[in-house]
Amino acid sequence: MQQVMNKSDLISNLASSCDGIEEPVVDEAVREIIGLMVDCLSHDGRVEVRGFGSFCLHHREARNARNPRTGETVAVKAKAVPHFKPGKALREAVNAIND
């Protein structure tokens, strides 16, 4: 069965594991961390969290594509797509669970 952890689950789990820190403080910290990561990536930066992974942008060139319904050619603009590369410790931890 697949488990899902959303941002509010992360905040409540983190607050319960950190004795003495109230949930609103953890909520503000998590939101600030995510905001800093978004800001760095939006300025074409790179975010590295040792043991977890790194976030960067992959740039895609402008191209022509086809509408599958009509077959009409459509111009697709250039864009940047966020990319996550897991770190070695994360890969090993995930693979250890599946073995």
Query: Is 16 a member of any domain?
Result: yes
User: pTM to 2 decimals?
Assistant: 0.79
d(C-alpha 10, C-alpha 67), whole Å? 39
Count of structural domains, the chain:
1
Which residues sit opposite 53 in a β-bridge?
49, 86
**For residue 98, what pLDDT is reported?**
64
What CATH number is given to the structural domain containing 84? 4.10.520.10
Query: Is 1 a member of any domain?
Result: no
Query: Is 2 a member of any domain?
Result: no
**For residue 17, what pLDDT is reported?**
92
d(C-alpha 63, C-alpha 83), whole Å? 20
Nearest to 46 by CA among 37, 80, 8, 59: 37
Q: How does pLDDT run along the chain (99 residues), one tens digit per residue? A: 578 999 999 999 999 998 888 999 999 999 999 999 999 999 999 999 999 999 999 999 999 999 999 999 999 999 999 999 999 999 999 998 766
Query: Is 33 a member of any domain?
Result: yes
For the four alpha carbons of 41, 18, 98 and 92, in that order, the dihedral sign comes to: positive
Q: What domain range is 87 assigned to?
A: 7-98
Number of other CB atoms surrounding residue 18 within 10 Å: 13
